Amino acid sequence: MNKKIGKITLANLGRDNPVFVQVLGICSTLAVTNVLKNTVVMSIGLVFVTGLSNVTVSVLRKQIPTRIRMMVSTLIIASYVILVDIVLKAYLPDVSRQLGPYVGLIITNCIIMGRAEAFALNNKPLLSFADGISSGIGYSYVLLIIAFFRELMGSGTIWGVTVLGSWWVKWSIMVMAPGAFFMLAVFIWLVKGVIIKDAEVAK
Amino acid sequence: MNEGIGVFGIFFAAVFTSNILLTMYLGMCSFLAVSRHVKTAFGLGSAVIFVMTATSAINWLVYNYLLKPFDLDYLMYIVFIIVIAAFVQIVEMIIERVSETLYTALGIFLPLITVNCAILGVSLFMIIRNYTFSQSVSFGLGSGVGWMIAIVAMAGIRERLANARIPKGLEGAGISLIIAGIMSMAFMGFTGMLGLG
């Protein structure tokens, strides 16, 4: 059992990573990554939702009629997202305002739905929990890396603290929409390059 | 909040300056998955326009006449997603009965739409920005049209790219993202004409 959990976790962090291998849920990858702080908050919310919704779906998996399973899992996910939203509004109102609708959009984040569909419906709660958390983390660290570079290059700051002095010409395009696309593309390119090389060596 | 720009202003802003896909990043999943051929992209695009306009109208009514009076704002997400899912289901059933051709053209895309973040996103944006009813409908329609323009253009480019030699790591998602980035830069040229908050 423990071995299995470890295996799933590793796969979700690397080989089956939701963002750069399966290219899922990138709407919010792109939208919230212009500032590191927002990204961290978003990631925590996302890990929470994937983990718990996976467990819930898995616990209920024998009770859910197959025809309406999508609907049921969406509702489960939506309830957890509401929790996240309320907590954010209460404790981090600034961040909540900046994230705006993107917190709500966790509901339609394909990763969560995908994990619930592909994994939680066929596996035991504990395994599903591990799967949910690890794909959440696999998603988050990609987000964090991208956010780090976007904030650094786009505004010369990290976590709001100026790192690069006045000599740095800000690449303002990095904090705007196109920067997000380019950054993610480059990231996927690098990662795929490494993976492809690994696969060739393995042969 | 947005009383300055009228219904038409919102429509054009939603199509060009604040394109839902290229500046708000919504609906990326299906954007990348269904943009291989112009024809399917067109089909999905028209389904999205229809669903987006209708659900933004329904959600506006539900929010302002059901949720707000009873202080149930926090249920917004759940209610919106149910409305969208139910609407998609009903439309699917209706066109299955009514028109075989329309069903083969649009039907297969409908289930995909429920989980398209753009649809829910439009409803959430319209609540956050305090739009009136007519503004919401034009925002929904405009976003739908903008989304379709983006996906059809993308599919056109990708059809051409099918024969091109691309670095190995960039194949598939990578190159699509770069194209999206370039398109997004092009759309940025419209900024300054009109703005949405």
* Cβ proximity of A86 and B74 under 8 Å: yes
Minimum Cα–Cα distance from A89: chain B residue: B74
Tell me, yes or no, if A181 comes closer than 8 A to chain B by beta carbon. yes
Give pLDDT, residue B2: 47
Residues B149 and B182: their CA atoms lie apart, in Å, by 15
- A14-45: per-residue pLDDT in tens? 666 766 666 666 766 677 777 888 888 888 88
Helical residues (DSSP H) of B63-132, grouped into ranges: 76-98, 100-106, 110-114, 117-128
The pLDDT assigned to B143 comes to 92
* Residues of chain B neighbouring A79 (CB-CB closer than 8 A): 78
For B:65-84, CB contacts with A below 8 A are: 74-78, 81-82
Pairing of strands A157-158, A161-162: antiparallel
Q: What is the pLDDT at residue B58?
A: 92
- 10-residue stretch averages of pLDDT, chain B, 197 residues long: 67 82 77 78 84 91 89 85 86 80 71 75 86 90 91 88 78 81 83 62
* Chain B residues within 8 A of A24 when measuring between CB atoms: 29
Query: In sequence order, which residues have a C-beta less than 8 Å from that of residue A91 and are 6 or more positions away?
Result: none
With a cut of 70, which residues of chain A have pLDDT below it? 1, 14-16, 18-25, 27-29, 165, 196-203
Query: Does an H or E element contain A138, and which?
Result: helix A125-155
pLDDT attached to residue B174: 80
Q: What is the pLDDT of residue B75?
A: 84
CB contact under 8 A, B29 and A110: yes
Of A70, A108, A192, the CB nearest to B117: A108
Can you name the residues that pair with A161 across neighbouring β-strands? A158
A105/B188 Cβ within 8 A:
no
**What was the pLDDT predicted at B178?**
86
Neighbours of B89 (CB within 10 A): 15
Q: Hey, are the CB atoms on B178 and A81 less than 8 Å from each other?
A: no
pTM comes to 0.82
Average pLDDT, chain B: 82
CB A13 within 8 A of CB A138: yes
Q: List the end-to-end C-alpha distance of chain B, in Å, as a whole number.
A: 9
Ordered DSSP codes for A12-24? HHTTT-TTTTT--
- B/e letters for B125-142, b = 16+ CB within 10 Å, e = fewer, are bbbebebeeebbbbbbbb
